[in-house]
Amino acid sequence: MLEVLTGTGLATAAGLNAALPLLVLGALDRWTGLVTLPEGWQWLSGEWVLAVLAVLLVLEVVADKVPGVDHVNDVVQTVVRPTAGGLAFGAGSGAQTTAVTDPEAFVTSGDWVPVAIGVLLALVVHVAKALGRGVVNALTLGVGAPVVSAAEDATSLALSLSAVLVPLLVLVLLAGMAVVAVRTARRRRRRRPAGDLPEAVSP
């Protein structure tokens, strides 16, 4: 159960920021005793991998805070974030990578399931984030983008650390995200201008 929560938290975090959960996993494995990655995932703590992840993290953090550029970034991240989510779930839940020499055996073994779950979780979060950002930019003329982006980065970091250190906190954070999403959707409906309502049919 805790392994599932760890994978879920990391994959969800990847849906908000692709590099952050992978960087957290790799860094904690390399420089602390808090995380020990499974044998098949130890490459995540390699120096060059951490360096690349750090660069990608900086690029995404900066690009996501510039109105207009954030939309382009979200388009690019449609592939990157789900991929990162699959890797994060697989590594965080203790799944082992395997060399796929026999595709049929790989499918029947179920080794692909954790990665697939992570991909789907990150994709759902990414799509919600991208759609929500469009609404924020439209309502605030782009002014709200840096604020919302910073909140998403903080949430991604909190999810990543919680998933690794205190997996049960993932449930609390996910519940909080759901509440915020519901409230945002309700406020959007209330603020919809009267011009958007269908005209009354004259008798």
User: pLDDT tier at 198 (50, 70, 90 boundaries)?
Assistant: very low
State if pTM tops 0.85: no
Q: Answer whether 170's CB lies under 8 Å from 9's CB.
A: yes
Two tokens, residue 74: 């979200």
pLDDT tens per residue, range 101-143: 444 554 555 567 888 999 999 999 999 898 888 888 888 888 8
pLDDT tens per residue, range 144-185: 889 999 999 999 999 999 998 888 889 899 898 888 777 766
Residue 203 has what pLDDT?
A: 47
Q: Among 15-24, 81-90, 91-100, 180-189, which is the least confidently predicted range? A: 91-100
Contacts 24+ apart (CB under 8 A), 71-79: 71/130, 71/133, 71/134, 71/137, 74/126, 74/129, 74/130, 74/133, 77/18, 77/126, 78/126, 78/130
Which residue did the predictor score with more confidence, 87 or 186? 87
Residue 162 has what pLDDT?
A: 92
Residue 109 has what pLDDT?
A: 55
Judge whether residue 4 has pLDDT over 50.
yes
Q: State the Cα–Cα distance between residues 164 and 158, nearest whole angstrom.
A: 10
Residue 111 has what pLDDT?
A: 63
- The domain ranges of the chain are 2-96+108-190
Q: What is the mean pLDDT of the chain?
A: 83
